[in-house]
Amino acid sequence: MDRLFLTKKQLVIWCRKHKFLVCYERRLEITKRLWKLRNEETSLRRELEEMGLQYNFLGE
């Protein structure tokens, strides 16, 4: 199951397809956009880069 976690400083999206995505912004509009793209790795990376957000795909 895909899940979304929020901590004080970061948003963590757990996605079965990519393991973890960690993002250091918590703004709601960003969270919604990223959640919609969670299973599309190339779109997700492009969106993160356009927004200037740091991210990690674990396992890389």
To which H or E segment does residue 46 belong?
helix 41-51
| Segments forming the whole domain that contains residue 38 | 3-57
Number of domains observed in the structure of the chain: 1
Three-state SS at 25: coil
pLDDT at 54: 66
pLDDT, mean of residues 33-59: 73
Place of tokens 């976690």: 5
pLDDT at 49: 80
Distance of alpha carbon 8 from alpha carbon 39, whole angstroms: 24
pLDDT, mean of residues 26-48: 75
